[in-house]
Amino acid sequence: NAGVTQTPKFQVLKTGQSMTLQCAQDMNHEYMSWYRQDPGMGLRLIHYSVGAGITDQGEVPNGYNVSRSTTEDFPLRLLSAAPSQTSVYFCASSGDRDYGYTFGSGTRLTVV
């Protein structure tokens, strides 16, 4: 099925560990983004990309890195996990003539 695929769905990390959240889309969308969702705070933009090789920071970029080597993939890297990064992470993509995002099903991350 076409769409946005996120892996893993669940992850528990220890403080200081690093990991990569994977995001892939098969709709040839140019625009991709990462959000985190926390109770009562809606979705906050972490990083986004308007095309392969181009990334930029959103509202809450600290502690996260991204890269966009292909149109399909947009991984999010946590460099040194902290308890404050416990959250649900969503990847989303948008096409050239399609306003509005298609979202992945999310990754629930717990940092202990």
Partner 1 sequence: AQSVTQLGSHVSVSEGALVLLRCNYSSSVPPYLFWYVQYPNQGLQLLLKYTTGATLVKGINGFEAEFKKSETSFHLTKPSAHMSDAAEYFCAVSEGRSSASKIIFGSGTRLSIRP
HSE-up (13 A, CA, CB side) for residue 107: 29
Instruction: Tell me which residues touch partner 1 (CB under 8 A).
Output: 4, 30-31, 33, 35, 40-45, 48, 50, 58, 90, 92, 94-106
Give residue 60's identity as a one-letter amino acid code.
V
CB 27 within 8 A of CB 112: no
Structure tokens of 49? 């990309």
Q: Residue 14 or residue 39: which is nearer to partner 1 going by CB?
A: 39
Q: Residue 17 or residue 22: which is nearer to partner 1 going by CB?
A: 22
Q: Residue 14 or residue 99: which is nearer to partner 1 going by CB?
A: 99
Measured from the CB of residue 108, what is the shortest distance to partner 1 in angstroms? 9
